[in-house]
Amino acid sequence: MIIIKLDKTQCKGPKCAKCAYVCPNNVFTIKSDSIFISSPNYCKFCQECLKICPNTAINIKTVPSSICGF
């Protein structure tokens, strides 16, 4: 299982939005003055958003399914 989080204190929102544009799986959505994770289950851990984010606002980790109970 993949857990993805967006640190709103570090994220520059739509002014940057590089993560939303680079994500091949449409995990992020731009809405008026913010970016949010709209489809976390679509994340395939390609890490493109991590590579492009200039503010290290994104945190992605993998967790074994047995820990999550799935």
Could you report the per-residue pLDDT of 10-63, keeping only the tens digit for each?
999 999 999 999 999 999 999 989 999 999 999 999 999 999 999 999 999 998
Write down the pTM of the prediction. 0.84
What's the CA gap between 68 and 52, in Å, rounded?
A: 29
25, 41, 20, 49 alpha-carbon torsion, rounded to 10°: -90
Q: By residue range, what is the domain housing residue 26? A: 2-68
Answer yes or no: is pLDDT of 68 > 60.
no
CATH code of the domain covering residue 10: 3.30.70.20
Q: Are 46 and 37 in contact (CB under 8 A)?
A: no
Structurally, the chain folds into a number of domains equal to 1
